[in-house]
Every structure is written in structure tokens, then in C-alpha cells.
A and B are shown apart, each in its own frame.
Chain A
């Protein structure tokens, strides 16, 4: 190895440039791979509802003077009409849906009324009309579904009597009553003794309307309410597996049949909603993959260019080495080792840069800390790339015949 290093000392500039390029590539690629992994993990989330069998729509009446009562009766008429659609197994009204990014209600819940010390805040409230659990396909891990008499007119921000029953996600239950059975526990939705409700069921998974650092992923509860309480909500329809697209298409006609003085502001299949929610993440992943690809290609080209030059420059020496007994394998190994050394130098510097870059990104863009296990991934990729790139020039070097040594030019 010693002669290789001393030979490199004669090409300090080129070596430094190579190391620098590999280091920058290593830093950017490690962080990019990390961000991709982070995004992929975020995208791989179970919504907790029947993604492929749901259709939802939002409609807005044009009568500004319409009373709450008439809005409620229209919502009920709408639901009745929607339930008669072929392929629709059930239809309900909910305030929001997981990952819909819409109309999310959040508040604090308390163990004891007025005790703000041990309250849990930023809890998302889902509110749905009778049949919500079955329609959305929410899976209970404990307890029972709501009873018909438990559905009441309750809007969380209006000083109304809380519903007698509530369901919580397992993640919220663990937060509120760690180590205890959540079933039957009282929960206060406000400051007063009248805001009490009791847990009747625990939901395995149900994701929030949007995933963010304030509300977490699954910190939510589900309340049984009547249509009058679901303000700004949406119709959610469960369809037979093959009937989804037809339902989506015919939905405006059916709603207009009930009352055409309205605007249907949203109408989507739920699978599309989930896809849309992660659009930015997917775009970012593609962008990063593109950048990684270009960077690796560039570095490979740099290695090929530089190695070819060195092979050409050293043709004479290679001939001499061959003439005094070096095998083709020795010559190849020489260039491969040389490349390995340069890339290793780049990786060493690059790993340092990767950590610094990550610290900078953490500070300014709220990215998590780069686990050190990502560095060997970047290193392996670059070593492989370097060896692949140097293969061509090394083979050419190995093909130099010993007779070259006897030629003067």
C-alpha cells in the first residue's frame, strides 16, 4: 500500500479534488437517503378506516338564511337518498376523516373537571352520526359500538351537554390511563362537571385529519352525535368493492335530486384523498432520488475521467512493472486499491460533512437527527460506485503489454 500512497502524493491536486467531490456527494446522499427513509416511514401509515371502499362529499347550501333545523332535515334527506344508491351499503355524516386535512376539531380533555394540571391537550374530536364505526370500517379492540340512544346534538365549542359515551384510540387511552383499563373511565370534555362522558370502546387505529407535531398521529376520540351537530362536515359512503367509482360519478345527481340549490364543494374517493395527502412527500422523494442519481452519476464520471488520465499518464510505468514480473491482476489491483483509498478519504470527510449538514437542517427545517447507521449506507454506495467506475480504466491499464517499457515514446 505504501507505494500507492507515495504515488498519490505526486497528484495532490487531482486527489484533493476527487476527495472533495466524493465528500460532498457522500454528505448530500446520506442526508437525502435519510430524508427519503423518514418520508417513506411517514407515508406508511394505517388510516384505520376502509381506504378503498369509501367515498366522501361535502355540499354547501346556498340559502344563507336557512335555519339550523332546516339544514339538519336536509342533511337527513341527503343521507336517506345516498343510502338508496346501488352499491352503497351505508352513509353517515362525520365532521372530518383521517388525512382529509379538513374541519378538524381539537380541544383539551381532563381527568377531573377544572383540573388543568393533568389534562391532555390538542386531542382531535371526531364526531359521527349513527353507524359511523361500521361505515368507516373502524376496528374496535375493546368495548362496544355506540347505542342508538347515545347519539346526541353536541358541538364541542358551544357549551352543550356532552354525549354519554365516547371511544378513544389505544394511543390516547395509553396516554390518559397508562396501565389501566380504559373501559368505563370518565373523561371530561370541558371545565364543568356536566362535560363528563364515559369510555365505551377503544379503537385500534384511527389517524388524525392531519399528522402534525401538535396533535400527533392518533391522539383522537370519537363522539356519537346527530346530524345537526356535524357542522361543516361531510357525507361518508361505504360502497361495495366494485361500486366505488360509479357511486362517485352518480353522487351529484342524487344530491341534486334532493335539492339542487347547493354547491358540491368536494367529492372524492377516500383512496384518492390519502394519495393527495402524501403528494408533497412523494414529490420530495422523487426529487431526492433524481438528485442522488445525478450526483452518483457525476461522481462516477469524475472517477472515470481522472482514472483514465492516470492510466494514460502511467502507461510507461505500467509497462516497466509488467516487464519485471507484475501480473495483470497486480496492475488492476493497484488502480482498484488507489480508488479505494481516495474514496475512503472522501467518505471520511463526507461523513463529517453529513453530520454537519444534518445539524444545520435540524436547526432550520425541523428534520430529525440523522441516525449514524445511515453513514455506512452512504459509504457502501460510494465504495461500490468507485470500484465500478474504476473498473474500465483498470482493465485498460491491465491490458498494457510489457513491451511498452522498451519504447521510448
Chain B
């Protein structure tokens, strides 16, 4: 039966090559356009740390004065230095990390190579274990190193390669600005997408090249690059960031069980009350504790231009589908006579229906292949764009399968109605007209 349907379908498709090509092209175009955008969206909304993301939480507290106070307004996106240090040293979570962005001047020691800027992350010790950062050599530093402001750094593999050769970077000294540090670890290429841990610098920013203990960086006045939000009356060139009324520290807490989450939330409320009692805070306790994926949601990491383009692609796909329905209807009804004869000679409605759907299946398969090629070229075009997420627009196996499945489903769906109409034709009438 299968072979027979295949033969019939191929014969029919060959019989009107132009119409067949039009249908394949229409489906291919629709699939190509929508899958390109869906893939981009899929990459941009992916879980950056699968498995671990459910245990990572981003606490927010509200240290502002009463100016501009409104009930239920979200607290600032970052913490002040004092609050970050208090939360860090309280150690109420399984692990916790406080951090900010910086930019360091790397002064190569050998040869005459010139100094250059490298992006840096000033962070406390738990960063590497919490976020499962892969180490090529050595390891991160310890909380004790944080406390005594040890001059240690972890560097990215490409920087280590550039400076010493990655395999013997550990133990070497590295001059950053005017200070000398000891390299304790080299990390393998690592890029969570979106770069969840600090969304203030763009959701798809690159992971930094140098990691340094936060307290060391502040003590040595290494230059920060982060986003500052300040309030109240103060000169803008306030150099004392550790006491200023500014939020600029990102903070993450690892909480493994729902009970831990609940008790951490209580702790944040309790902390806010305590600070209010001390006179530091003025507002009533206003805390948030989002998990990683919710935090991405709150921050709208997907740019609206991408959403708009996805919408456009879906609209385009819809037109392609309507077009396919119309063309299939034409194609099936045109063959009324042939179907009438098959029916008259004993084929059941069901087998005629199956035959027509099989034909549509072949069209969908071909459309899927065309769509796949168009998706690949569409993604290539996206990668050529100077947008921060460009480099991540690749087709993975899931999306590859999805492309073909979507194409088949769409075509079969489009074929249901025309096939049903074609089956309903009365064999006698069709034959008589002819």
C-alpha cells in the first residue's frame, strides 16, 4: 500500500512540476523565516545553567530613602557595598557571591609587548563553585583569601595563552595596573547565554578575562566598570564607593531546598527591619528573591527587536500556510476525475484521504529540507550582524529536528481540509461532468 501511495504521489507531483515547486518553495520560505527567528529566540531564552539554575537566587533589598517611595515598587537591581558585605558575611545561604565588573590594565612582563585593557570581574570566592565554572588548571581562591585581601587572580584560557601558555600559567605573577597578583587558576572557555550573573552590562556580554577577589580589588582601588545607581544628595564624583548611597554590587545566593528559600526570604525581611532600626534604611522592608530564570524574565533579556522579528516571521508563516492550503485545494480538486475513478473502482474514502495526505507529506518533507537550508542561511545572516547575541545563533540538533517536524506538521495540517474536500466529491458526479 505504502509503495503504491508513494508511486501515485510521485506521479502526481511530477505531473504538475510548477505547482509542486511553488508549494515546496512556499512552505520552505515560511519554515525558513520562522525557524530562523525561533532559533534566535530559543538561544536567547535558554537556561544558562541547566540543572543548577533552580538553586540560584538573586536577593534584592530596598536601601533607598523615602523620596519617590511607592508601595510595591521593585527594589533596586543591585546592592550597596555595605549590604552586600553584610549578606556575604552572614553566610545564611549554602553559598553566596558578591561581585561587580571592572577593567584592568594588563602589563605583560616579557618582551616589549604593549599594555592592554582586559575585562575583569571582582567577585567573592564562591563564584566558581556556584556557577560550575570549568577549570583547565589550578582552582579558584578561598573565602580566607577574600578575607585577607589576597593578591590572587583567576584568568581565562585565551589570556593565559597569550601571556604565558596556558599550561604553565598557574603560579606565575601577573601585573595589573600598579599591582602584582599570583595566578591561581585558568578557566576553560565558558560563556553562559544569557550572561545571567550581571545583566547591567548587556544580557549577552562576554564573560570576563580576569577574576579577582572583590575585597582585594576595592582595597587596591582597581578600576570598576559597573553600573552605578545613586540616590540622595551627593556629588557625582564621590570616590568613596564603599560608603556612598549607591547600588552597584550583584549578589547571588545558592539555596538548595524550598525551606532554605523560605528562611532566606525571612532573613532578608529581618535584615531590612534591623537596618531600619539602626537608622540606615527608611522604607518598610521590601525584598525580592527571584530564582535565576525568573530574574531573566524580570529583566526582559530578549530585546524587543527580536520579539518583533519573531512576530513578523510567524505572520509570514501564516500567509505561507494559507497559500499552501489554497494550492493544495486546487491540486486535489483538479484531480477529481482521477480520484473519482479510484473511488468508483472500489477505493474507500479513507484510502483516498490517506493517499492525498501522503502526497502532502512528501511536499512537507521537501519543504522541510528547503526550509532547513533557508534557516541555515538566515542564521548565517544573523551572525553577520553586529549585535551582542550574534555569535550564539546556531542551529542545535533540537532545533534541526524541530524544523523538519514543524514543516511536516504544518503541511499535513494544511492538507487536511483540501483532502477532506476532495474525498467528499461524489464519484458519479465527477465522472459524469467529464
Contact with B along A315-354 (1 / 0, CB 8 A): 0000000000000000000000000000000000000000
- A67 within 8 A of partner (CB): no
A302 smallest CB distance to B (angstroms): 5
Cα-based distance from A157 to B117 in the complex (angstroms): 27
Contact with A along B1-37 (1 / 0, CB 8 A): 0000000000000000001001000100100010000
- B333 within 8 A of partner (CB): yes
User: Which residues of A are found within 8 Å of B115, using beta-carbon distances?
Assistant: 62, 261, 263
User: Which residues of A are found within 8 Å of B421, using beta-carbon distances?
Assistant: 13
User: Which residues of A are found within 8 Å of B326, using beta-carbon distances?
Assistant: 14, 17-18, 21, 302, 305-306
- B304 within 8 A of partner (CB): yes
- A312 within 8 A of partner (CB): yes
**B-binding segment of A87-95, A240-248, A283-291:** A283-291
B319 touching A21, Cβ below 8 Å: yes
B33 touching A24, Cβ below 8 Å: no
Given contacts A263-B117, A305-B327, contact A28 B316 (CB under 8 A): yes
**A-binding segment of B164-172, B267-275, B307-315, B344-352:** B307-315
A252 smallest CB distance to B (angstroms): 11
Cα-based distance from A32 to B316 in the complex (angstroms): 12
Cβ-defined partner of B316 (8 Å) among A13, A20, A291 = A291
B312 touching A64, Cβ below 8 Å: no
Number of B residues contacting the other chain (C-beta, 8 Å)? 43
Cα-based distance from A13 to B26 in the complex (angstroms): 20
B237 touching A365, Cβ below 8 Å: no
- B323 within 8 A of partner (CB): yes
Cα-based distance from A64 to B117 in the complex (angstroms): 12
Cα-based distance from A202 to B330 in the complex (angstroms): 68
- A298 within 8 A of partner (CB): yes
Contact with A along B232-267 (1 / 0, CB 8 A): 000111000000000000000000000000000000
Cβ-defined partner of B237 (8 Å) among A13, A158, A299 = A158
Cα-based distance from A45 to B421 in the complex (angstroms): 56
Given contacts A60-B117, A260-B114, contact A294 B29 (CB under 8 A): yes
B117 touching A301, Cβ below 8 Å: no
Number of A residues contacting the other chain (C-beta, 8 Å)? 45
A218 smallest CB distance to B (angstroms): 25
User: Which residues of A are found within 8 Å of B322, using beta-carbon distances?
Assistant: 17, 20-21, 24, 302
Counting chain A CB atoms within 10 Å of each CB, which of B235, B327, B386 scores highest?
B327
- B385 within 8 A of partner (CB): yes
B178 touching A64, Cβ below 8 Å: yes
User: Which residues of A are found within 8 Å of B178, using beta-carbon distances?
Assistant: 64-65
A28 touching B319, Cβ below 8 Å: yes
A20 smallest CB distance to B (angstroms): 5
A298 touching B329, Cβ below 8 Å: no
Cα-based distance from A81 to B330 in the complex (angstroms): 76
- Looking at chain B's contact residues, the main secondary structure is helix
A284 touching B319, Cβ below 8 Å: no
B330 touching A309, Cβ below 8 Å: yes
Cα-based distance from A367 to B309 in the complex (angstroms): 14
Q: Looking across the interface, which residue of chain A has its beta carbon closest to that of B26? A: A298
- A25 within 8 A of partner (CB): yes
Interface residues of A in 130-189 (CB under 8 A from B): 157-159
Interface residues of B in 94-115 (CB under 8 A from A): 105, 107, 114-115
A302 touching B323, Cβ below 8 Å: yes
Cα-based distance from A298 to B27 in the complex (angstroms): 10
Interface residues of A in 60-84 (CB under 8 A from B): 60, 62, 64-65
- A409 within 8 A of partner (CB): yes
Cβ-defined partner of A291 (8 Å) among B19, B33, B334, B386 = B33
Cα-based distance from A306 to B330 in the complex (angstroms): 6
Contact with A along B348-389 (1 / 0, CB 8 A): 000000000000000000000000000000000000011000
B105 touching A62, Cβ below 8 Å: yes
Counting chain A CB atoms within 10 Å of each CB, which of B235, B320, B322 scores highest?
B322
- B231 within 8 A of partner (CB): no
Given contacts A24-B322, A65-B178, contact A409 B434 (CB under 8 A): yes
Cα-based distance from A65 to B305 in the complex (angstroms): 42
Cα-based distance from A279 to B384 in the complex (angstroms): 12
- A295 within 8 A of partner (CB): yes
A311 smallest CB distance to B (angstroms): 11
Interface residues of B in 170-189 (CB under 8 A from A): 177-178
User: Which residues of A are found within 8 Å of B334, using beta-carbon distances?
Assistant: 309, 312-313
Q: Looking across the interface, which residue of chain B has its beta carbon closest to that of A301? A: B22
A28 touching B385, Cβ below 8 Å: no
9 additional contacts, CB 8 Å, given A14-B329, A21-B323, A294-B29?
A18-B326, A28-B312, A28-B315, A28-B319, A157-B237, A260-B114, A284-B305, A298-B323, A301-B327
Q: Which B residues have a C-beta under 8 Å from some C-beta of A? A: 19, 22, 26, 29, 33, 105, 107, 114-117, 177-178, 221, 223, 235-237, 304-305, 307-309, 312, 315-316, 318-320, 322-323, 325-327, 329-330, 333-334, 385-386, 417, 421, 434
Q: Which A residues have a C-beta under 8 Å from some C-beta of B? A: 13-14, 17-18, 20-21, 24-25, 28, 32, 60, 62, 64-65, 157-159, 260-261, 263, 265, 279-280, 283-284, 287-288, 291, 294-295, 298-299, 301-302, 305-306, 308-309, 312-313, 361, 364-366, 409
| 20 pairs from A and B in contact (CB 8 Å cutoff) | A14-B329, A21-B319, A24-B318, A24-B322, A28-B315, A158-B236, A263-B114, A263-B116, A279-B386, A284-B305, A287-B309, A294-B33, A298-B29, A298-B323, A301-B26, A302-B326, A309-B333, A312-B334, A313-B334, A365-B308
